[in-house]
């Protein structure tokens, strides 16, 4: 909790927003720069552990995304088979910020390696290109990750 609070307070100072809702930090978004928070639980939902916030992020080609370990014990790694052809995979260290610049349009699936099986997964959509959706949907996942990815992909199709 203190980690979240300290992160939000520092991000609030940078973004010039108030600190009234510090218990639920908001990802920071500036022109061409975005963040995805890695949390032990979804804000306001004690029964949804280990999440990326937001779970789905839409960005433009050339934008950067920083994965922020707001709570300890998380990382972000691209999921093999769930990134566009020609895109570079990534595998960040646990408890460290990781910034990725997305230069290839398409859908990117990412996971927290320690909590993947428990469903800590997310999607980044770069540009309006969903041409790799069929290949992304074919990737198999263990445990709760299967259900979470299925729900996220349904959101893209609607």
Is 120 one of the annotated binding-site residues?
A: yes
Burial 54-84 (b: 16+ CB within 10 A, else e): bbebebeeebebbbbbbbeebbbbbbeebbb
DSSP string, 48-85: EEEEEESSEEEE-TT-EEEEE-SSSS---EEPTTSS-T
Are 26 and 54 contacting, i.e. CB atoms less than 8 angstroms apart? no
Q: What 3-state class would DSSP assign to 46?
A: strand
Q: For residue 76, which of 100, 41, 101 has the smallest C-alpha distance?
A: 100
Q: Is 141 labelled as part of a ligand binding site? A: no
Is residue 80 within 8 Å of 111, Cβ to Cβ? no
Give the whole-angstrom CA distance, residue 68 versus residue 74. 9
- Annotation: binding site for Cu cation: 74, 112, 115, 120
- Annotation: binding site: 74, 112, 115, 120
């Amino acid at each position: 909790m203190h980690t979240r609070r300290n992160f939000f307070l520092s991000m609030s100072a940078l973004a010039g927003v108030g600190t009234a809702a510090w218990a639920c930090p908001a990802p920071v978004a500036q022109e061409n720069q975005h963040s995805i928070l890695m949390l032990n639980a979804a804000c306001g939902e004690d029964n949804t552990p280990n999440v990326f916030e937001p779970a789905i992020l839409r960005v433009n080609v050339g934008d950067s995304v920083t994965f922020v370990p707001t709570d300890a014990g998380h990382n972000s790694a691209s999921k093999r088979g769930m990134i566009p052809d020609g895109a570079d995979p990534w595998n960040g260290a646990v408890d460290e910020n990781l910034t990725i610049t997305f230069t290839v349009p398409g859908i990117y699936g990412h996971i927290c390696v320690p909590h993947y099986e428990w469903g800590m997964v997310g999607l980044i959509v770069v540009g309006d290109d969903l041409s790799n959706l069929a290949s992304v949907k074919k990737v198999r996942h263990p445990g709760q990750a299967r259900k979470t990815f299925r729900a996220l992909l349904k959101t893209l199709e609607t």
